[in-house]
Amino acid sequence: MQPTELIPEAWRAPAARMADALRTLDRVIIAGHVNPDGDALGSVAAMGCLLRGLGKECVLYSKSGVPPYLGFLPLPGTMHDSLQRLPFRPVAAVLLDCGEPHRLGDELEKALPGLTGVNIDHHLGSEGMGTLDNWIEPRAAATAQLVAYVAISAGIPLEGKLGQALALGLITDTGGFAHGNTSAAVLHLAAHLVDRGCDIALLRQQLENCWSMGRMRLWARLMERIQLLADGTLAFCAVRLDDLQSCGATKEDLEGFVEQMRRLAGVRAAALLREDAPGVHKFSLRSFGETDVRAAAATLGGGGHRNAAGGTLRMEAAQAAETLIKAVAAVL
């Protein structure tokens, strides 16, 4: 199969259009949402490789830096966490896996009006932040999948650091190729990355086999706290501020916990409510098949995908729990 054949027919035109848009840019800042997951970081790293392959001057940016659990990913340059210490003054921005300016961090959000923007994302609910062009495709399993198609359209081989970054994005947002968004196109792309030298087994080992004792203690505590509600179809768990501190864990140590909750027999949706500060709670929702947790998240001001969504509730803990449980139960 030729690389261009990896691109679904309906996406060939937008992928080519985005490649053309990137060719017009230079002195580019590349960014995804704050507190990046594997898809956001992988997409940013892959885009850095792509732009450098096109001979462009570019810099990687994340206000919150690289999470320690993703520190194994080789980047095509330094990840900057401040606009004040960049090697050049950006005139363009490529924004990835993010459809809302505030999720880029306040510093970059304020700078956006002065930058020529391109936005590639796979989340529902956004028309795109790019001033030059946008490709928002909710049917894609990951933003990294779209970046791969843009790279192919630009004539950049999917190998080396680029291939590893793309694979990380695919692995993260498909749950290791186990979620319902793992389409034939995703598997064809993954097979191509392996053919080009990407070691997916090693990536999964680096991603999954790096637990700290703090994370193990935190998960043990939260496993005992899970509640089954709505006749056993909803698994709910609340994480308090002092849980992380007393277990010696970080927010990143919660990555993947809500997916484990969904493994309980009979559960159609899992809801994790994390206290970030007094009166501020972040929620994460997961489901399977036709159960639409994005619909629940949307009623609370959040967003995401049908089977993976989230948002923030600004209220006291008991009210936040009651509000979230009621919203999710309504879609079951």
pLDDT exceeds cutoff 90 at 186: yes
pLDDT exceeds cutoff 90 at 210: no
Which neighbouring-strand residues pair with 274? Answer: 239, 282
pLDDT recorded at residue 285: 96
pLDDT recorded at residue 303: 86
At residue 289 the predicted structure's pLDDT band, cuts being 50, 70 and 90, is confident
pLDDT recorded at residue 227: 97
Q: Are 181 and 156 in contact (CB under 8 A)?
A: no
52 and 184 both lie in a single domain: yes
For residue range 38-64, what is the model confidence (pLDDT) as tens digits?
A: 999 999 999 999 999 999 999 999 999
Q: Which of 208, 223, 243 is the last residue of a domain?
A: 208
For residue range 132-144, what is the model confidence (pLDDT) as tens digits?
A: 999 999 999 999 9
* Helix 160-173 / helix 38-53 crossing angle, nearest 10 deg: 150
pLDDT recorded at residue 138: 93
pLDDT recorded at residue 243: 97
pLDDT recorded at residue 304: 85
At residue 286 the predicted structure's pLDDT band, cuts being 50, 70 and 90, is very high
- Give the Cα separation of 87 and 23 in Å (integer): 21
111 and 195 both lie in a single domain: yes
C-alpha 11, offset from chain centre: 20
178: closest CA among 134, 141, 212, 139? 141
Write down the mean pLDDT value for the chain: 95
| 318 CB-contact burial (10 Å; exposed 0-12 / middle 13-18 / buried 19+) | exposed
Q: Which of 174, 208, 242 is the last residue of a domain?
A: 208
- Give the Cα separation of 252 and 249 in Å (integer): 8
pLDDT recorded at residue 224: 97
Q: Which of 193, 208, 223 is the last residue of a domain?
A: 208
Q: Are 310 and 302 in contact (CB under 8 A)?
A: yes
Which range marks the domain in which residue 116 is found? 3-208
pLDDT exceeds cutoff 80 at 125: no
pLDDT exceeds cutoff 80 at 99: yes
151 and 64 both lie in a single domain: yes
184 and 291 both lie in a single domain: no
173 and 265 both lie in a single domain: no
pLDDT recorded at residue 1: 78
82 and 171 both lie in a single domain: yes
At residue 18 the predicted structure's pLDDT band, cuts being 50, 70 and 90, is very high
Q: Could you tell me what percentage of the chain is helix, strand and coil, using 3-state DSSP and rounding each to the nearest 5? A: 45, 20, 35
107 and 120 both lie in a single domain: yes
163 and 221 both lie in a single domain: no
179 and 218 both lie in a single domain: no
- Give the Cα separation of 166 and 48 in Å (integer): 12
Q: How many domains does the chain have?
A: 2
Measured in degrees and rounded to the nearest 5, phi and psi for residue 14 equal -65, -35
Three-class SS state of 188: helix
Neighbours of 287 (CB within 10 A): 27
- pTM > 0.85: yes
For residue range 231-271, what is the model confidence (pLDDT) as tens digits?
A: 999 999 999 999 999 999 999 899 899 999 999 999 999 99
The CATH number that applies at residue 235 is 3.10.310.30
The CATH number that applies at residue 111 is 3.90.1640.10
203 and 225 both lie in a single domain: no
265 and 198 both lie in a single domain: no
- Give the Cα separation of 217 and 144 in Å (integer): 32
173 and 217 both lie in a single domain: no
